[in-house]
Chains A and B, each alone.
Chain A
Amino acid sequence: MRKGLIIAVGLCWLILVVSVTADTEQKLLGDESDGSRAVPVHLIKLFIKLIDGESQQISGDDEPLLPFSTRQTCGPCHNYNKISSGWHFNAGDAKVAPGRAGQPWIFVDADTGTQVPLSYRDWPGTFKPKQFGITDWQFVKLFGRQMPGGGVGELEGLEKGEEIMRGFVSGKLETNCLSCHNADPAYNQSEYADQIERENFRWAVTAACGFASVDGLAKKMSDTYDYLMPEPSNPDVPTVVYCENTFDHKSKVFFDIVRKVPSRRCYFCHSNKIIDEAGTERWTTDEDVHLAAGLSCVDCHRHGLDHNIVRGYEDQGDAGGTCDSCHFTCESCHAKGRLGAPVPEHKGIPPVHFDRLSCTTCHSGPLPGKKNSRVKTARAHALGTLSAVKADDALPHIETVVFAKAEDGKIGPHNLIWPAFWASMEGQVVTPIDMEIVKQTAGKILAVERTRSTGWQKFDAEQIKKVLTSLSSVKSINGSPVYIAGGKFYSLDKKGQVTSAEHNAAEPYLWPIAHDVRPTTQSLGAGECQDCHSTKAPFFFGQVAVDGPVNAEKNADEYKKMLEFQQLPPFYTWAFAASFVFRPWMKIIAGGSCAIIAAVLLLYALKALGFITKILVNKD
């Protein structure tokens, strides 16, 4: 009897839990497609979340006018939390599988000779922002310009009291649905970047949306500033003005929201500019062949409600994406000619190439030259924003194109940066030193002789020695201070002199590139085998610059050969490439021999036929 009661209570509890869970997972209006391919019109009300957690509607005649919140405005119809767990937002979530190494955020401080790849994801070779003393708050301020909000931008992990206070002033950088889905040409992501600079996180989306403008700077407001309390006398107070006719008679606002994100939205964060000796200008370069053919980025880089966007590499399905991602690789479209995609014949190319090279090796990125070029990327160089430095030598220095062996064992085109940072070493473990300490110590020493420049101001062994000596006296640093730059590891020996050596921590960080895709006729190897298999071919023997702020030592490698990144033995690679000189001879000898043998076979086959004929005739 008691047992039955316990079971009944247990069942009731279970039903209750399941029903509550089911309730939280209930699909909202925009979470599930009804199958219509038409684009829903987004004539909606604007909302903001008040401090007490209540959602308040915004009207054109409010006083003061407040910025709208995407969580409150888009959230009623779309599962904000689920969307915010997508690939563009979830870097800070340790539970999410890191997937294939990608483009990092690059922290640069020219004064201290620092250039480091940062990522919240566990990509080997990158550093966590925290390792350099960069808090979430600082990270958002540094890179929020080209982040679509959400994730780290929600400022949930702030630990320092002062930053928590600043977080109240600036507000959160919520997931910015508009940065991708707003097709309105007036939407201004550059303005969004400017608002991040001003610490106007709460106002950034409103300022960028195209129907409102924002003035003022939250960064100039005191820690006790309350955005709901207007301070008319203070010109720095962030204020919003909505354009006339923004609100209709029902206080609704029209958003030109599209399901299919226009490529120009992607370009704001995913553009590249090649810096080569020829001084190639943007207008002379071609777009990705897929876009030129009329496709858009999201035709391949698709996603469902969870916004786990298809990255396009072959085994993404195992790395946190959906199984559906397997259907949007190069092969999935081009192997069977999906939607008329050209099916490659690869005439004359031995199949072993497809085991050892990725599709992108021959078809993507810039063609390799004798020496590598540099590339400026939107996210590393703030391209498209007002603060973008247009000088060619602007930091960070990203080398491209580097054909290197990727995680999947295939050679593919990569971008590369050489990390440069001050660190401490205990045993063989290298730990970056907090940037604040570095700035206070190294900054003063190294900035003495610096002139204003966009690139590296080179410094020498004597300056490194001064900084290392100075850092050794800092009590909070455990171990001996070292400097890592240009693929080298600098430390003080027992006599107090600077010595350099190779070290794992000085190895470059590489990430694969997949665009712009070139068509067959412009692919690597389209000309002949010698495009890659010759002793001068850039594919194996191209020079990759070893870049850093330290003046090159005597006998130091200023360049490394491409084959080093492919983990190939130099002599073998050279000998194999050289053997292609004899390839035509080999074809002639083998072909000629074959012709002679065939002739002999034919001759004796005819003789045999004649013999048989003779026998048959005699029998008659």
Chain B
Amino acid sequence: MFRIVTIIGFVITIAGIVCHYIALSVGKGRRWRPIDILRKLVFLLTLLFLEQKLSAIGIFRKLVYLLALLCFVVLAVTGFFPTLILGEHLSGYLLMVHATFAPVFAGCVAVLSVMWAHNCRFTKNNLQQEALTKTTDSATGSEKCKIGQKISFWLIVSLTVPLILSIVASMFPLFGTDIQKLLLNLHRYSALLLAIAAIVHTYLIILTQTRK
């Protein structure tokens, strides 16, 4: 069941992103020459670099973000690979890698939630459609975060709580087998939603950076 839901979830998300990007490109009359694609990829790579203009806190924030991204990729691969590809539970070395990166990811999300929460809060402007269109290309303050990014950010932060709690709670002798199974399912589905939210969030960030 989880396998099917996960596959459907990922397919819809990726298809949505691809459709959205194509629609955006067609709307702006972009060309698809190989050189343009290469340029885009190089640009995406530069997003991983630390800009010189960043302050110490900015550098720290970016490093934490990149670490969180790395952890997310590792956790997603180790978590979903056995379920989707092998059709079995997470175990063996993959489980060990998963369990090693999980607390790091949790820590990173905690730091990011503290550092990004203010910028990603919903403002009055977000609620007014006119203001939203006005601020689309703005590059200052809280306006940096677009509404989609904000939603996906708060989704990620919100989903991290059941994700972590479900697995940590199962490590204590508190719950019996039935609830253990429930917690495991809660962990899996939270992870799936979080993964989708994280993919969307990353896509939106890339989109924003590209526009700049």
Q: A residues bordering B, Cβ < 8 Å?
A: 344-352, 354-355, 572, 575-576, 579, 583, 585-587, 589-594, 596-598, 600-601, 603-604, 607-608
Contact with A along B80-115 (1 / 0, CB 8 A): 000000000101110110011011001101100110
Chain A positions within 8 Å of B114 at CB level: 596, 600
Find A598's partner among B154, B161, B176, B180 (CB 8 Å cutoff): B161
6 contacts between A and B (CB under 8 A): A572-B92, A587-B171, A589-B106, A590-B164, A593-B164, A608-B121
- Known contacts A593-B110, A597-B157, A600-B157; decide if A586 and B96 are in contact (CB<8 Å): no
Residue of B nearest to A346 (CB): B177
* Nearest B residue (CB) for A607: B121
Decide if B168 touches A596 in the complex (CB within 8 Å). Answer: no
Per the bound structure, the CA–CA distance linking A346 and B177 in Å amounts to: 6
Q: Which residue of A lies closest to B177 (CB)?
A: A346
Q: Which residues of B contact A349 (CB under 8 A)?
A: 177, 180
Contact present for B176 and A591 (CB under 8 Å): no
Q: How many of B's residues come within 8 Å of A, CB to CB?
A: 39
Known contacts A586-B103, A590-B167, A607-B121; decide if A600 and B113 are in contact (CB<8 Å).
Answer: yes
The answer to whether A600 and B117 have CB atoms under 8 Å apart is: yes
Contact, CB under 8 Å: B102 / A348: no
Q: Which A residues are in CB contact (< 8 Å) with B151?
A: none
Q: Are B103 and A590 in contact (CB under 8 A)?
A: yes
Instruction: Determine if B174 is an interface residue (Cβ-Cβ < 8 Å).
Output: yes
Q: Which of A344, A348, A575 contacts B172 (CB 8 A)?
A: A348
- Does chain A have a CB within 8 A of B25? no
How far, in angstroms, from A351 to B107 measured CA to CA in the complex? 27
> What 5 A-B pairs have minimum CB-CB distances, sorted nearest first?
A348-B173, A345-B176, A593-B106, A593-B110, A589-B103
CA distance A19 to B180 in the complex (A): 59
Write the residues of chain B forming the contact surface with A, with a CB cutoff of 8 angstroms.
Answer: 89, 91-93, 95-96, 99-100, 102-103, 106-107, 109-110, 113-114, 117, 121-122, 154, 157-158, 160-161, 164-165, 167-168, 170-177, 180-181, 184
Provide the bound-state CA to CA distance between A85 and B208, in Å. Answer: 80
Q: 17 new A-B pairs (CB below 8 Å) besides A351-B177, A594-B110, A597-B113?
A: A344-B177, A346-B177, A347-B175, A348-B173, A348-B174, A348-B175, A579-B99, A590-B102, A592-B110, A593-B109, A594-B106, A594-B168, A596-B110, A597-B110, A597-B160, A600-B114, A600-B117
Q: Is B103 in contact with A585, judged by CB distance below 8 angstroms?
A: yes
Chain B's closest residue to A598 (CB) is B161
Report Cα–Cα, A354/B158, bound state, in Å: 32
CB distance from B171 to the nearest CB of A (A): 6
Contact A587 B168 (CB under 8 A): yes
User: Are the CB atoms of A351 and B164 closer together than 8 Å?
Assistant: no
Task: Quote the shortest CB–CB distance from B164 to chain A (angstroms).
Answer: 4
Taking the nearest CB of chain B, how far is it from the CB of A392, in angstroms?
A: 39
Closest Cβ of chain B to A64, distance in Å, is 66
Interface pair A348/B170, CB less than 8 Å apart = yes
Chain A contacts for B168, CB-based, 8 A: 587, 590-591, 594
Given contacts A354-B177, A583-B171, contact A597 B103 (CB under 8 A): no
Q: A351-B177, A586-B102, A607-B121 are in contact. Are A601 and B158 (CB under 8 A)?
A: yes
* Cβ-defined contact, A351 with B103, below 8 A: no
Give A525 Cβ to nearest chain B Cβ, in Å: 10
Q: Across the interface, which residues of B come within 8 angstroms of A591, CB to CB?
A: 164, 168
Min distance, Cβ A342 to any Cβ of chain B, angstroms = 12
A576 to B175, CA, bound (A): 23
Q: How far is the CA of A447 from the CA of B176 in the complex (A)?
A: 60
Known contacts A352-B91, A572-B92; is-contact A593 B107 (Cβ 8 Å): yes
Q: Report A337 CB to chain B, min CB distance, Å.
A: 13
Q: Closest approach, in angstroms, between the C-beta of A356 and any C-beta of chain B?
A: 9
Q: Which B residues touch A344, using CB under 8 A?
A: 176-177
Q: Are B157's CB and A601's CB within 8 A?
A: yes
- List residues of chain B with CB within 8 A of the CB of A354: 177
Known: A590-B164, A594-B164. A352 touches B177 (CB 8 A): no
